[in-house]
Amino acid sequence: FRRLQREEAELSRELQDLIGLPSATLDGVTIPLHANTGLLADITPSLRCGAEGVGLYRTEVPFLVRDRFPGEEEQRRTYRQVLEAFAPAPVTVRTLDIGGDKSLPYFPVQEDNPFLGWRGIRIALDHPEIFLTQLRAILRANEGLNNLRLMLPMITCVAEIDAALVLIRRAHQELEEDGARIEYPHIGVMVEVPSAVYQVPAMARRVDFFSIGSNDLTQYLLAVDRNNSQVADLYDALHPAVLRAIRQVIEDAHQSQRPVSVCGEMAGDPAAALLLLGMGVDSLSMSAASLLRVKWAVRSFSHSQARALLSEALQLEDGKSVRELVHGHLEQAGLGGLIRAGRR
Ligand code: PEP
Ligand code: MG
């Protein structure tokens, strides 16, 4: 164990050398690596590891740590700190995604099936006063910075996007009428529900970018509760169905000239990141702790190797075989330290 501990510390030190080096494959394809944030305490580690922006700012976190809904000005100040810390790099702010496993103590919701119930954009659209307050706060936080990208969670149909866009335009217009000069941000949606996978062309007519929430997408595609340890063995983001769904989203989005990011946990898994690279994903967003590990993997393979690996992986019939295949390639390339404790 001492040896493993020593080797892990050595690996972490070596990875520090990658800070500041481009996140690019051996054949020169760059893939920006962004950080996932929620608490203000996430900002410093994200900047230290060289994140090129924030790919997912979970705004429900500041709501979860309070005992009442934060007001517009309180929210604005919080969001401003994140936007300012990363400016001019992009910060993707996701609107409130409560419900499911994230319930606010001061907004109790009782349901038999919370993951299939009132969550994400559904609550926001049913409570426009909460949503508009948040939208005004987010838009105002961006004043003079212009590095905001706004993202909507749990989208299942285009009507939800249309309704949300009406409210975003209204919030923007109200602020302009108040005399504020605020750029209208790029707007994107999360693809984290199976129905969204098959709606990409229609959604692309309404928004500027997509981000794949692989945590929920895996849960809903495989019908496995992401938090239930009883069925944890069945939860696998490398399941061929999940990989095919993601590949289709990326292909369809690119057909419509829209970029795609992945911001679920799989983006921070070096093995999964290689497959996503092979699919042509445009950026990855992950926790700061994973970023340099993924960068090491990206810099150790060419894009054509990642593409070949993906086509091999897509011939396989289950997630376990996919993982074994990719882990084998990581070992061969001398990156075994990424997939197990120690280096040898
Ligand atoms: C996801 O579902 O993959 C995601 C990034 O959102 P969250 O984990 O916050 O549900
Ligand atoms: Mg989600």
- The per-residue pLDDT for 173 is 97
Helix or strand or coil: residue 91?
strand
| Separation of CA 192 from chain center | 10
Q: Which of 51, 118, 78, 59 is nearest to 295 (CA)?
A: 51
Rounded distance, CA 258 to CA 148, Å? 17
Q: Distance between CA 287 and CA 39 in Å, rounded?
A: 12
CB of 160 within 6 A of ligand 1: the answer is: no
178-212 pLDDT, tens per residue? 999 999 999 999 999 999 999 999 999 999 999 99
Per-residue pLDDT tens digits of the chain, which is 344 residues long: 999 999 889 998 999 999 999 999 999 999 999 999 999 999 999 999 999 999 999 999 999 999 999 999 999 999 999 999 999 999 999 999 999 989 999 999 999 999 999 999 999 999 999 999 999 999 999 999 999 999 999 999 999 999 999 999 999 999 999 999 999 999 999 999 999 999 999 999 999 999 999 999 999 999 999 999 999 999 999 999 999 999 999 999 999 999 999 999 999 999 999 999 999 999 999 999 999 999 999 999 999 999 999 999 999 999 999 999 999 999 999 999 998 887 76
Percentage of the chain exceeding pLDDT 90: 95
Give residue 219 CA to ligand 2 midpoint distance, Å: 9
**pLDDT at residue number 342:** 78
Tell me, in angstroms, the distance from the centre of ligand 2 to residue 156's CA: 12
Q: Which of 158, 160, 42, 153 is nearest to 100 (CA)?
A: 153
Atom of ligand 1 nearest to the CA of 264: 3
Pocket of ligand 1 contains residue 92 by CB under 6 Å = no
The overall longest dimension of the chain from CA atoms, in Å, is: 64
289 CA to centre of ligand 2 in angstroms? 20
The predicted pLDDT at position 283 comes to 98
- pLDDT tens by residue, 14-42: 999 999 999 999 999 999 999 999 999 99
pTM, two decimals, is 0.97
> What is the whole-number distance in angstroms between the Cα of residue 257 and the centre of ligand 2?
24
User: How far apart (Å, rounded) are the C-alpha atoms in residues 191 and 211?
Assistant: 6
Tokens of 15: 């990875």
User: Cα torsion at 146, 249, 241, 305 (round to 10°)?
Assistant: -80
Tell me, using a 6 A CB cutoff, whether residue 196 lines ligand 1.
Answer: no
Q: Which ligand is nearest to the CA of 56?
A: 1
Do 57 and 86 meet the contact criterion of CB atoms below 8 Å apart? Answer: no
